[in-house]
Amino acid sequence: MSAWPSARTEGIHAGGFGRHVALIGYRAVGKSTIGALVARRARWAFVDADHEIERRAGRSIAEIFANDGETVFRDWEAQVIAEILAGTHPVVLATGGGAILRAETRALLRQRAFVIWLTADPTELRRRLALSLERGRSGHRPALTSAGLLEEIEPILAARAPLYRAAAHAEIAGLNRSVTEVAADVYRLARSCFEVTCPLPAAGESPPLLPEDPSGTATAVQQAAVDMESPSRRSS
């Protein structure tokens, strides 16, 4: 079985988009945790876009939203992502959940990075976000609607799904799987892409799901990820 099926006959070589990997998906899907594991395994740099925005702005994302509004935050986000992906050294980039809202940012991601859409069941996302609330770790994740952080998950996810699909070159589902298992698949998929010509789906087409790995490569990578993961295991 091939690494992943083609949705069209045209192939794009990795050199065409700079050997960066960008992870997209809803908040709490695991982009930061998985991205850090993949970066360590690949010996690449890792950047969390939200954390970089906070570092540059000197404020939390919640404070930017509250004081300046979402438009200003999206300006920060677009600028930071563009600068990160303009670099020549390989980077694994964890984007914010709404990074795909602007068409120009979606286009930039597809042009300059191999984009992987991480998905999770809304029930699991709710569980993770509720846990963050209990532990007081949700301060950088402001609610986006009047419904509240947990109640807004399904409607926002439904609205954003077509945008994630349009931006992604591939999709990896995380339902009932550990972060180390998903990180192993991301690493394997990215490595396959960067070592060979990549048959990528056209923008807006359904991204391919990662099939089974009969070679056992993902198992080996998973074990390396287990060695790197902290005992407390983050879930978002």
- Encode pLDDT of 113-134 as tens digits: 999 999 988 888 888 888 877 7
Asked if 82 and 107 count as a contact pair (C-beta separation under 8 A), the reply is no
Annotated ligand binding at 28? The verdict is yes
Annotated ligand binding at 30? The verdict is yes
**In sequence order, what DSSP letters do the residues of the chain get, joined into one string?**
--SS--SSS-EE-GGGGTTEEEEE-STTSSHHHHHHHHHHHHT-EEEEHHHHHHHHHTS-HHHHHHHH-HHHHHHHHHHHHHHHHT-SS-EEEE--TTGGGSHHHHHHHHHHEEEEEEE--HHHHHHHHHHHHHTT--TTS--SSTT-TTTTHHHHHHHHHHHHHHH-SEEEE-TT--HHHHHHHHHHHHHHHHHS-EE-PPTTSPPPBP---TT-HHHHHHHHHHHHS-TT----
Note the pLDDT tens digit of each residue in 54-79: 999 999 998 999 999 999 999 999 99
The pLDDT of residue 223: 37
Could you tell me if residue 235 is inside a domain? Answer: no
Asked if 21 and 190 count as a contact pair (C-beta separation under 8 A), the reply is yes
Could you tell me if residue 54 is inside a domain? Answer: yes
Could you tell me if residue 109 is inside a domain? Answer: yes
Could you tell me if residue 222 is inside a domain? Answer: yes
Domain count within the chain: 1
Q: What is the CATH number of the domain that holds 160?
A: 3.40.50.300
Annotated ligand binding at 182? The verdict is no
Annotated ligand binding at 41? The verdict is no
Could you tell me if residue 74 is inside a domain? Answer: yes
Q: Which residues of the chain have pLDDT under 70?
A: 1-18, 135-150, 195-236
**Domain that residue 118 falls in:** 16-227
Asked if 236 and 140 count as a contact pair (C-beta separation under 8 A), the reply is no
Annotated ligand binding at 97? The verdict is yes
Could you tell me if residue 11 is inside a domain? Answer: no
The pLDDT of residue 137: 55
The pTM assigned to this predicted structure is 0.75
* Amino acid found at 155: P
Could you tell me if residue 48 is inside a domain? Answer: yes
The pLDDT of residue 231: 35
Could you tell me if residue 129 is inside a domain? Answer: yes
